[in-house]
Amino acid sequence: MGLNPVVVIALSMFVLAQSQTQDCGQTPRAETPAPVPPTPTQPSSDVITTQDGARVQAQVVVTNLEVPWSMAFAPDGRLFVTERPGRVRIIDIAGGTSELALTLDDTFAQGEAGTLGLALDPDFAASRFVYVYYSARAGNGAVNRVVRYREVGSRLGERVVLLDGIPADTIHDGGRIRFGPDGLLYISTGDASTQPLAQSLGSTAGKILRLNRDGTTPAGNPFGSPVYSYGHRNPQGFDWHPITGELWASEHGATGNDEINVIRAGANYGWPAIQANATMAGMITPVTFFASAIAPSGASFARGRAVPLFENDLFVATLRGLHLLRLRIDPAVSGRIVAQERLFDQRFGRIRDVITGPDGFLYFCTNNRDGRGTPGASDDLIARVVPAS
Cβ partners under 8 Å of residue 56, min gap 6: 47, 48, 50, 307, 343, 385, 386, 387, 388
CA distance 94 to 79: 10
Closest by Cα among 154, 13, 41 to 95: 154
23 against 71, higher pLDDT: 71
Which CATH number does the domain housing residue 41 bear?
2.120.10.30
pLDDT band with cut points at 50, 70 and 90 for residue 20 = very low
Averaged pLDDT, 312-329: 98
The confidence score (pLDDT) of residue 8 equals 64
E strand residue ranges, 45-191: 47-49, 55-63, 68-73, 79-83, 87-92, 97-103, 115-120, 129-138, 141-152, 155-167, 177-179, 185-188
CA distance 47 to 53: 12
CA distance 158 to 101: 13
The confidence score (pLDDT) of residue 232 equals 98
Q: Could you tell me if 191 and 206 are in contact, meaning their C-beta atoms sit under 8 angstroms apart? A: yes
Per-residue pLDDT for 18 more than 50?
A: no
pTM assigned to the model: 0.91
> Using one digit for the tens of pLDDT, what is the confidence trace for 167-195?
999 999 999 999 999 999 999 999 999 99
Per-residue pLDDT for 58 more than 70?
A: yes
Cβ partners under 8 Å of residue 216, min gap 6: none
Closest by Cα among 189, 195, 165 to 176: 189
140 part of a folded domain: yes
List 152's β-bridge partners, or say none: 155
Hey, is 344 helix, strand or coil? Answer: coil
The confidence score (pLDDT) of residue 5 equals 80
Say which DSSP state 147 is in: E
361 against 13, higher pLDDT: 361
Number of domains in the chain: 1
CA distance 260 to 262: 7
pLDDT band with cut points at 50, 70 and 90 for residue 22 = very low
97 part of a folded domain: yes
Distances (CA, A) of 246 to 22, 181, 297, 306: 29, 10, 18, 23
> Which amino acid, one-letter code, is at 15?
V
Closest by Cα among 265, 187, 198, 193 to 230: 198
List 177's β-bridge partners, or say none: 187
**Range of lowest pLDDT (1-5, 288-292, 296-300):** 1-5
Per-residue pLDDT for 85 more than 90?
A: yes
pLDDT band with cut points at 50, 70 and 90 for residue 35 = very low
Domain assignment of residue 299, given as a range:
6-387
Percent of the chain with pLDDT over 90: 87
CA distance 204 to 361: 34
The confidence score (pLDDT) of residue 6 equals 73
Q: Could you tell me if 316 and 325 are in contact, meaning their C-beta atoms sit under 8 angstroms apart? A: yes
Cβ partners under 8 Å of residue 384, min gap 6: 58, 59, 61, 357, 359, 361, 362, 363, 364
Using the Cα atoms of residue 384, residue 151, residue 105 and residue 145 in order, give the sign of their dihedral. Answer: negative
146 part of a folded domain: yes
Averaged pLDDT, 3-25: 45
Residue 46, φ and ψ in degrees, nearest 5: -70, -20
1 part of a folded domain: no
H or E segment to which residue 126 belongs: helix 124-127
The confidence score (pLDDT) of residue 306 equals 95
Say which DSSP state 125 is in: H
List 317's β-bridge partners, or say none: 324
Q: Could you tell me if 63 and 36 are in contact, meaning their C-beta atoms sit under 8 angstroms apart? A: yes
